Amino acid sequence: MTEPRTPNPNHPAAATLADFAAGLQFAQLPEAVLTRAKLLILDALGCGLAANAYDFADTAVASIQALSQATIGAPASSEGCSVVGRDIRLPVRDAALANGMLIHGLDFDDTHLNSIIHATAACLPAALAMGEALDASGREFLAAYAAGMETAIRVGAAAKGGFHHTGFHATGVVAHFSSAVVASKLLGMPAAGIVAAQGIAASTASGVQVFLEEGAWTKRMHPGWAAVAGITAAYLARGGVKAPTRPYEGKFGFFETHIQHPHQPIDVQAELATLGTFWELAETAIKPYPVCHFIHGCADSAIALSARINPADIISVEAFLPRDTMPIVAEPHENKIVPKNDYEAKFSAHFVVATCLVKGGFGLPDLLPAALADPVILGLSRRVTCHVDPDSAFPTYFSGGVRLKMRDGQTLWHHERVNSGAGERALDEAGVTRKFMPSATMTVSAAQAEHVRRVVLDLENHSVRQLAQALRHTAA
């Protein structure tokens, strides 16, 4: 499209992102980027459909329905926006909140490894709700989604992991900006309006990681709440609300307030230099396992070793993880060895590695109550210790290794530099379909799941309302 930009400190980052978003047309998306975008959307929708099989989804959606009824004075009806896998309609912001909680609810959705964010969850809830409300075409939807993805990823990458160090869920904060860009783009706003929407979003961006202490459900709401905020910001900006124009780099702006003592210099302009010439969207990794992405290299290694051993013969297990991920998935040791619920299990390297060694894989059934109480897995989990991986390629890849000490005196070792689902191990259309169909059919029929798949993979020739209709629950 253009030559790489030379960073210009006199041109605020919000303006650079706004210029890019306002000017981006569907025809400018390279074929490989378009193909990848549709696979990421398909994967996210599969996660959203699967989430409806879990109790948290019923609780969350019912709570949002109650909010809608209290706000508009009437129950959900045939008017409004669709909720993935449900037969209800909600006002646009409530639908975005519900869909965000479903898409991210199982923590099975994609991750851009370098920026350490769930990129599609940071964009798709706003795009779905706004696209349906505005009767956007699939091409308009895809262009807005792509603009949001580049925004979320590049803002996240500028932090260099700093959000996690200061206690923020990176997706939960950057998604406010990407959702604002998506909503503004679908509203057809000019660059100045998209700048203002980002400026307003800076006053809503939050998402604290305290959920890690108790396996709380609040992480699930972060992308959906960001979509609510982003949509609100877009409409306020369109209406003329005066907003800061330097929300990222300004004094008391986003980076200064959220990362007060960065361990590496923050240069958001440098991250924007390749906008339109290199597509970070295409680098987003799709998860093969429904657990924190930080553990995937260790999970790969444990699965590789499982074919060579009898778990009963293991004396001890050492799991090697990227240094910066240890506080999230490995510490404190006492809280990780026996997860009390599925969400704690997703963030326990001990439990995930033990499960992979015993079962030779890890899927959604391995987070059910019976699996969490399995005495064999819990016994092995207590024998797992976690260490910093000296050969990690983090954050480019979520590397990991496992070393086993066996009863016969053998020491077995396996290390994966590139975690499955990333880089040259990225899932292709067949791989994404193999993940999507079992996930989707947890709540809809195989015929409906296949229909959704076909619509998404041909989305440029469908409207968002057609996609929304395909996603609404129908009788099996």
- 420: pLDDT strictly greater than 60: yes
Structure confidence by residue, pLDDT tens digits, 321-344: 999 999 999 999 998 999 998 889
Tell me whether residue 386 is in a domain.
Answer: yes
Residue 100: its pLDDT value, please? 98
pLDDT band at residue 10, thresholds of 50, 70 and 90?
A: confident
Tell me whether residue 458 is in a domain.
Answer: no
Structure confidence by residue, pLDDT tens digits, 334-372: 989 999 988 899 999 999 999 999 999 999 989 989 999
Residues 93-108, mean pLDDT to the nearest whole number? 97
Question: How far from chain centre, in Å, is Cα 305?
Answer: 29
Pull the structure tokens for residue 269.
Answer: 């302009």
The answer to whether residues 379 and 317 touch, using CB atoms and an 8 Å cutoff, is: no
Percent of the chain with pLDDT over 90: 86
pLDDT band at residue 23, thresholds of 50, 70 and 90?
A: very high
Structure confidence by residue, pLDDT tens digits, 188-218: 999 999 999 999 999 999 999 888 788 788 9
- 167: pLDDT strictly greater than 90: no
DSSP, residue by residue, 374-409:
-HHHHHHHTTEEEEE-TT--TTTS--EEEEEEETTS
Tell me whether residue 190 is in a domain.
Answer: yes
Residue 107: its pLDDT value, please? 92
Tell me whether residue 136 is in a domain.
Answer: yes
Residue 70: its pLDDT value, please? 84
- 146: pLDDT strictly greater than 70: yes
Residue 166: its pLDDT value, please? 87
Residues 84 and 225 in one domain: yes
Tell me whether residue 18 is in a domain.
Answer: yes
Residues 157 and 297 in one domain: no
C-alpha separations of 244 from 182, 247, 249, 270 in Å: 19, 6, 11, 21
pTM score, two decimals?
A: 0.90
- 219: pLDDT strictly greater than 50: yes
Per-chain mean pLDDT for the chain? 94
Segment (H or E) for 317:
strand 314-321
Tell me whether residue 459 is in a domain.
Answer: no
Residues 273 and 313 in one domain: no
> At which of 423, 443, 461 does a domain end?
423
Residues 165 and 104 in one domain: yes
3 Cβ contact list (under 8 Å, min separation 6)? 277
Whole-angstrom Cα distance, residue 360 to residue 427? 19
Structure confidence by residue, pLDDT tens digits, 39-89: 999 999 999 999 999 999 999 999 999 999 887 765 555 579 999 999 999
Any idea how long the chain is?
A: 476
Tell me whether residue 242 is in a domain.
Answer: yes
Residue 162: its pLDDT value, please? 82
- 5: pLDDT strictly greater than 80: no
Residue 73: its pLDDT value, please? 67
Tell me which DSSP letter residue 27 carries. G
C-alpha separations of 341 from 145, 216, 327, 345, 458 in Å: 33, 9, 19, 6, 38
Q: Which CATH number characterizes residue 377's domain?
A: 3.30.1330.120
Residues 147 and 98 in one domain: yes
Q: 124: closest CA among 132, 114, 135?
A: 132
Residues 220 and 311 in one domain: no
Residue 165: its pLDDT value, please? 82
Residue 476: its pLDDT value, please? 47
Q: 356: closest CA among 285, 409, 420, 422?
A: 420
Within 10 A of 70 (CB to CB), how many other CB atoms are there? 8
Residues 90 and 201 in one domain: yes
- 233: pLDDT strictly greater than 80: yes
- 402: pLDDT strictly greater than 70: yes
Residue 7: its pLDDT value, please? 52
Residues 255 and 298 in one domain: no
> At which of 261, 283, 305 does a domain end?
283
Residues 103 and 124 in one domain: yes
- 2: pLDDT strictly greater than 50: no
* Structural domain of 42: 13-283
416 CB burial (10 A radius; 0-12, 13-18, 19+): buried
Residues 299-305, mean pLDDT to the nearest whole number? 98
Residue 119: its pLDDT value, please? 98
Residues 253 and 379 in one domain: no
Residue 355: its pLDDT value, please? 98
Residues 233-258, mean pLDDT to the nearest whole number? 94
Strands 314-321 and 384-388: parallel
Q: Which CATH number characterizes residue 155's domain?
A: 1.10.4100.10
Tell me whether residue 325 is in a domain.
Answer: yes
Domain count, the chain: 2
Residues 268 and 303 in one domain: no
Residues 118-127, mean pLDDT to the nearest whole number? 98
Residues 303 and 331 in one domain: yes
Residues 439-468, mean pLDDT to the nearest whole number? 97
Whole-angstrom Cα distance, residue 4 to residue 294? 31
Of residues 250 and 354, the one with the higher pLDDT is: 354
Pull the structure tokens for residue 131.
Answer: 């696209």
Residues 416-443, mean pLDDT to the nearest whole number? 95
